[in-house]
Structure 1
Amino acid sequence: DEEWLIPRERVVDGGPGRDGIPAIDNPIFLRADRVGGSARKLVVGYRAGLEVKAMPHDILDWHEIVNDTLDGEPVALTYCPLTGSALLWKSSTTARNPTFGVSGLLYNSNLIPYDRETDSHWLQMLVQSVEGPRAGDVPEVLPVVETTLGTWREMYPDSQLLTRQTGYDRDYDEYPYRTYRTDDNLLFDVDPLDTRMQIKTRVLGVWVGDAARAYRIDDFGSGITVHNDTIGDVPIVVAGSAQKNLAVAFGRTLPDGTVLSFEPASAPLPAIVTDGEGNTWDVFGEAIDGTRLTERLPLVDSHIAFWFAWWAFHPDSEIAGE
């Protein structure tokens, strides 16, 4: 019997079976300002160097994994519609087949991809392989920015947007889980379950070691709201906008030891925060103005998810503002 690093009895079959939800292996992109769609719909964006890409939730809802390349390196955008979580992983550069597929298995409602090289299973929100030859391995996570398509187009009009030319016949205007995003129902058991807020509330979760905190997206203002915060003993900054459905987190301690403090940037997005030295930083944590031009803020472990899922994986999490 295969050895799992998580309780095997709580790994459930989601129904469609292995590859029943087909990953996209040959993504086709068009310039973002040339692709239609509601300005309010959500996208997941990422970049490396001059390469800037985004993937709409309404496509990810049907496919969950997109195998792509970024700056010449294989990456996998993993998205779980049941937990509302998107993470971008660097794939193995040594594997003959560095791609991932959808296993059809779930743990706490969360996606379990498998890698096609070793057949190992990975648990998305644990950010770790939990079964197989790679068990215990942790993928390198790359930063993503989730926001509305309208906001993304304003920030990066000439970026590449994933198109509906996926090779599959799906009704991408139709959400496959009906009222799931807004109701109080779960399709699978989740333990522990916390109901201090509506369970599908979208939060930005940030964790440092065992310390974790959740920031409700709806608690950010219509403009940019900035929190200079500390998690564990690590100074972080969290910035976001409820209106733009946007929230990002970075470390505040630079490699030279400087600890910065931030306020909302006066320049338009993608500029998001300005520090006490007068540098302005963008949504990916890169300095775009000031003496630290092109420097980067340290990454911290963070991603957006539904509240119930965040709590299930981080049951000691604090809630910002409480």
Structure 2
Amino acid sequence: MRTPAALLAGALFLAGCAGTATDDTASQPSGPAPTPVTVTQIEPGPREDVPSALGNPAAEGLPTPLVDPEAIISGGPPPDGIPPIDEPTFLETDEVDFIADEEPVLAFELEGDARAYPIQVLIWHEIVNDTVGGVPVTVTYCPLCNTAVAVDRRVDDRTLSFSTSGSLYQSALVMYDRQTESLWSHFTGEAIAGVLTGEQLDRHPVATVAWKDWREANPDGLVLSRETGHDRSYGRNPYPGYDDVNSEPFLFEGETDGRLAAKTRVVGVGLDAEPTAIRLEPLLDEGVLELELDGEPAVAWALPGTASALDAGDVPDGRDVGATGVFSRTVDGQDLTFSRTDDGFRDDETGSAWNVLGQATSGPLEGSQLRAFEHVDTFWFAWAAFAPETRVLP
């Protein structure tokens, strides 16, 4: 019998196996092909003549790494073995026909530019180098720690582009930038080895929500297409059963914080200030949790109806793990109190209806947008490893 570690190693191999350009005609519904939208990308800088941390994070001429170099371990594939998406193409919302209603997508918006990145695609690539709202960004998803993070890929006067290093730190994706070949933690957006050691990328809020909810909220948005230049089984999950709370994390060499089981799903918020882990299961039961973040009234909420990407063999068949959001609950100087409804949320003060993305869809506050706090839907072992002083709610 193959061990869980062997199964995960096989999954990583599948995710990184070489592919060729494809139009995905075998997996796309028949009929006229939708017209892809190509976004003008901000070009990254050239490769710099500096020592690389890829082969040796502690190589001569490099700063002392922020973490023990021996804790940066191989995940199986070589650098670039899991290929990032460097030339993303998109579809308009109403032309997408390959995503099921309950499928998870990464919802990201910057400067009014709304994008959805289907996890059925990201699970095979982990990194998208993109330009959103005129800002060069990298949108990432690490299946091993079940975490989505979006970062601004500018450092001083550099514009970076990122790829997969093939290594893991605390069972989380380690990226490298192609300009200096420094190593970066996907989870924190910080350079942990290389000439850019200690540099911190600006992180932006990103949420994992059901396709139907994003689609209804963003009829004019853009959706990452399957036209990636690689042949992958989009829609299939190469890590079936990985989010079983009774299973062990893959290649996690730290000590699990015993307050919760390692694979407990949590909503992590306040990574750089007052780290807080909100247990997903009770949040889904209650719908809404009021708390204070950065000294201001906040709300965390959860809405059923989003499939786990890491459960079943086919992404849409995953169990319902819901979608979450964390927001300031102050609008125009007024603190609002929320409760969950059948298809969203409602505030007690004005009776306005709100969707899971924090947009008021009807009522006196229609058109208002709650300010999002950066949060991650993740596994407890990962959050506790990167934020060991975290509090746990409820």
| TM-score, L = length of structure 1 | 0.85
Q: 1:230 to 1:192 in 2, by over 3 A?
A: farther
Q: Could you tell me how far apart the structure 2 residues matched to 1:248 and 1:265 are?
A: 12
Find the counterpart in structure 2 of residue 11 from structure 1: 72
Q: 1:38 to 1:268 in 2, by over 3 A?
A: closer
Percent identical: 32
Contact 2:84-2:164 within 8 A present in 1 as well: yes
Q: Could you tell me how far apart the structure 2 residues matched to 1:46 and 1:265 are?
A: 23
| Structure of larger gyration radius | 2
Q: 2:251 aligns with which of 167, 188, 196?
A: 188
Q: 1:251 aligns with which of 328, 344, 352?
A: 328
Q: 1:142 aligns with which of 201, 204, 223?
A: 204
Q: After TM superposition, give the deviation of residue 61 of structure 1 in Å.
A: 1.1
Contact 2:104-2:118 within 8 A present in 1 as well: yes
The 5 A counterparts of 1:85-96 are: 85-92=147-154
**Could you report, residue by residue, the CA deviation over 1:145-177 in whole angstroms, capped at 9, with x for unpaired residues?**
211223222332442221211101111233223
Find the counterpart in structure 2 of residue 104 from structure 1: 166
Q: 1:97 to 1:314 in 2, by over 3 A?
A: closer
Residue identity in the other structure for 1:260: D
The structure richer in strand per residue is 1
The 5 A counterparts of 1:307-322 are: 307-321=380-394
Q: After TM superposition, give the deviation of residue 206 of structure 1 in Å.
A: 1.2
Find the counterpart in structure 2 of residue 20 from structure 1: 81
Find the counterpart in structure 2 of residue 264 from structure 1: 339
Q: After TM superposition, give the deviation of residue 268 of structure 1 in Å.
A: 5.8
Contact 2:189-2:201 within 8 A present in 1 as well: yes
Question: Number of residue pairs matched?
Answer: 315
Find the counterpart in structure 2 of residue 207 from structure 1: 270
Q: Could you tell me how far apart the structure 1 residues matched to 2:272 and 2:178 are?
A: 30
Q: Could you tell me how far apart the structure 2 residues matched to 1:210 and 1:92 are?
A: 23
Contact 1:127-1:138 within 8 A present in 2 as well: yes
Q: Does 1:305 align with 2:378?
A: yes
Q: 1:137 to 1:253 in 2, by over 3 A?
A: farther
Q: 1:301 to 1:45 in 2, by over 3 A?
A: closer
Contact 1:260-1:275 within 8 A present in 2 as well: no
Q: 1:48 to 1:209 in 2, by over 3 A?
A: closer
Q: Could you tell me how far apart the structure 1 residues matched to 2:350 and 2:159 are?
A: 46
Q: Could you tell me how far apart the structure 1 residues matched to 2:220 and 2:92 are?
A: 5
Q: Could you tell me how far apart the structure 1 residues matched to 2:258 and 2:196 are?
A: 35
Contact 1:74-1:93 within 8 A present in 2 as well: no
Q: Could you tell me how far apart the structure 1 residues matched to 2:171 and 2:369 are?
A: 38
Contact 1:25-1:66 within 8 A present in 2 as well: yes
Find the counterpart in structure 1 of residue 30 from structure 2: none
The 5 A counterparts of 1:50-61 are: 50-61=112-123
Q: After TM superposition, give the deviation of residue 124 of structure 1 in Å.
A: 1.7
**Could you report, residue by residue, the CA deviation over 1:254-277 in whole angstroms, capped at 9, with x for unpaired residues?**
7x8x472421377965xx453746
Q: 1:118 to 1:276 in 2, by over 3 A?
A: farther
Q: Could you tell me how far apart the structure 1 residues matched to 2:271 and 2:84 are?
A: 31
The 5 A counterparts of 1:111-190 are: 111-182=173-244, 184-190=247-253
Unaligned stretches of 5+ in structure 1? Answer: none
Q: After TM superposition, give the deviation of residue 212 of structure 1 in Å.
A: 2.3
**Could you report, residue by residue, the CA deviation over 1:47-74 in whole angstroms, capped at 9, with x for unpaired residues?**
1344211111121111110011111111
Residue identity in the other structure for 2:230: Y
Q: Could you tell me how far apart the structure 2 residues matched to 1:239 and 1:24 are?
A: 31
Residue identity in the other structure for 1:111: L
The 5 A counterparts of 1:13-52 are: 13-35=74-96, 36-52=98-114
